[in-house]
Chains A and B, each alone.
Chain A
Amino acid sequence: MAEQASAHGAHVPAHTGHGDAPLAHHFNSYEQQREASSLGMWFFIAQEVLFFGGLFTVYLVYRSRNALDFAIASSELDVFWGGLNTAVLIASSFTMAMAVRAAQLGKRNPLVLFLILTLLLGGVFVGIKYIEYTAKIEHHLFPGMSDFHFEVPPTVVEHFALSAERVAVMQQRARVFFSIYFAMTGLHALHMLIGMGLIVWLLFPAWKGRFNHDYHNPIENFGLYWHFVDLVWIFLFPLLYLLGRNIPHA
Chain B
Amino acid sequence: MSSATTVPAPRPPEKNYLNADWSLKSWLLSVDHKRIAILYLVSVSAFFMVGGLFAMMIRIELLTPAADLLSTDSYNRMFTQHGVVMIFFFLIPSIPAVFGNFVLPLMLGTIDVAFPRLNLASWYIYSLGGLFGVCAILFGGVDTGWTFYTPLSSVYSNSNVLLAAMGAFIAGFSSILTGMNFLVTIHRMRAPGMGWFRLPLFVWAMYATSIINILGTPVIAITLLLVMAERVAKLGIFDPALGGDPVLFQHLFWFYSHPAVYIMILPAMGVISELIAAFSRKRIFGYKFVAYSSVGIAVLGFLVWAHHMFTSGMSIYAATVFSVLTMLIAVPTAVKVINWITTMYRGSVAWETPMLYAVGFIGLFTIGGLTGLMLATLGINPHLHDTYFVVAHFHYVMVGGAIMGFMGALHYWWPKMTGRMYAQGWSKLSAILIFAGFNLTFFPQFLLGYMGMPRRYASYPEEFQVLNVMSSAGASILGVGYLLPAVYFGWSLWYGEKASRNPWGAVGLEWQAPSPPPVHNWDRDPVVTEVYDYTDETIVRELRQRAAIAREVPIG
The listed residue (B218, B221, B235, B539) touching A2 by CB distance below 8 A is B539
For residue A5, CB closer than 8 A to chain B, the reply is yes
Question: A36 CA to B188 CA in the complex, in Å?
Answer: 6
Q: Is the CB of A47 within 8 A of B176?
A: yes
Q: Is the CB of A143 within 8 A of B191?
A: no
Q: Which of A46, A53, A58 has the most CB of B within 10 A?
A: A58
Q: Is the CB of A2 within 8 A of B527?
A: yes
Q: Which of B193, B225, B236 has the most CB of A within 10 A?
A: B236
Chain B residue nearest to A24 in the complex (CB): B116
Cβ of B188: which chain A residues have Cβ within 8 Å of it?
32, 35-36, 39
Q: Is the CB of B243 within 8 A of A58?
A: no
For residue A155, CB closer than 8 A to chain B, the reply is no
Determine how close the nearest CB of chain B comes to the CB of A22; give it in whole angstroms.
12
CB proximity to B under 8 Å, residues A59-75: 61-62
Question: A89 CA to B217 CA in the complex, in Å?
Answer: 28
Q: Is the CB of A40 within 8 A of B176?
A: no
Chain A residue nearest to B248 in the complex (CB): A61
Chain A residue nearest to B1 in the complex (CB): A4
Given A57-B252, A175-B243, residue A7 in contact with residue B216 (CB < 8 A) = no
CB proximity to A under 8 Å, residues B225-240: 225-226, 229, 232-237
Q: Is the CB of A52 within 8 A of B222?
A: yes
Chain B residue nearest to A5 in the complex (CB): B191
Q: Is the CB of B180 within 8 A of A40?
A: yes
Total A-B pairs, Cβ < 8 A: 161
The interface size of chain B toward A, counting residues with CB under 8 Å, comes to: 62
The listed residue (A10, A39, A46) touching B187 by CB distance below 8 A is A39
For residue B482, CB closer than 8 A to chain A, the reply is no
Segment from A80-88, A176-184, A192-200, A230-238 that makes contact with B: A176-184
Cβ of A35: which chain B residues have Cβ within 8 Å of it?
188
The listed residue (A6, A32, A143, A172) touching B235 by CB distance below 8 A is A143
Question: A24 CA to B234 CA in the complex, in Å?
Answer: 47
Question: A44 CA to B217 CA in the complex, in Å?
Answer: 12
For residue B309, CB closer than 8 A to chain A, the reply is no
Determine how close the nearest CB of chain A comes to the CB of B217; give it in whole angstroms.
7
Chain B residue nearest to A177 in the complex (CB): B243
Q: Which of A5, A51, A52 has the most CB of B within 10 A?
A: A5
Given A8-B525, A36-B114, A51-B222, residue A46 in contact with residue B214 (CB < 8 A) = yes
Cβ of B225: which chain A residues have Cβ within 8 Å of it?
187
Determine how close the nearest CB of chain A comes to the CB of B248; give it in whole angstroms.
6
For residue A248, CB closer than 8 A to chain B, the reply is no
Given A143-B236, A179-B236, A183-B235, residue A43 in contact with residue B111 (CB < 8 A) = no
Annotate A27-60 by CB proximity to B: 1 below 8 A, 0 otherwise: 0000010011101100110111011111101100
Q: Is the CB of B234 within 8 A of A26?
A: no
CB proximity to B under 8 Å, residues A158-189: 172-173, 175-176, 179-180, 182-183, 187
For residue A131, CB closer than 8 A to chain B, the reply is no
For residue A144, CB closer than 8 A to chain B, the reply is yes
Question: A182 CA to B194 CA in the complex, in Å?
Answer: 49
Determine how close the nearest CB of chain B comes to the CB of A35; give it in whole angstroms.
6
Question: A175 CA to B230 CA in the complex, in Å?
Answer: 12
The interface size of chain A toward B, counting residues with CB under 8 Å, comes to: 45
The listed residue (B219, B244, B252, B524) touching A176 by CB distance below 8 A is B244
Q: Is the CB of B215 within 8 A of A39?
A: no
Q: Is the CB of A50 within 8 A of B109?
A: no
Annotate B362-404 by CB proximity to A: 1 below 8 A, 0 otherwise: 0000000000000000000000000000000000000000000
Cβ of A183: which chain B residues have Cβ within 8 Å of it?
226, 229, 235, 237
Determine how close the nearest CB of chain B comes to the CB of A186; give it in whole angstroms.
9
Cβ of B222: which chain A residues have Cβ within 8 Å of it?
51-55, 187
Chain B residue nearest to A145 in the complex (CB): B234
Question: A89 CA to B256 CA in the complex, in Å?
Answer: 32
Cβ of B221: which chain A residues have Cβ within 8 Å of it?
51, 54
Cβ of B245: which chain A residues have Cβ within 8 Å of it?
61-62
Given A3-B528, A176-B244, residue A40 in contact with residue B184 (CB < 8 A) = yes
For residue B115, CB closer than 8 A to chain A, the reply is yes
Cβ of A24: which chain B residues have Cβ within 8 Å of it?
116
For residue B274, CB closer than 8 A to chain A, the reply is no
Cβ of B61: which chain A residues have Cβ within 8 Å of it?
none
Chain A residue nearest to B518 in the complex (CB): A8
For residue B470, CB closer than 8 A to chain A, the reply is no
Query: Which of A's residues lie within 8 Å of B, judged by CB?
Result: 1-10, 24-26, 32, 35-37, 39-40, 43-44, 46-48, 50-55, 57-58, 61-62, 143-144, 172-173, 175-176, 179-180, 182-183, 187
6 A-B pairs with CB atoms under 8 Å apart are A7-B521, A37-B115, A46-B214, A51-B218, A58-B226, A144-B234
Q: Ordered nearest first, which 7 A-B pairs have the shortest CB separation?
A: A3-B193, A5-B191, A144-B233, A51-B218, A54-B222, A8-B522, A179-B235
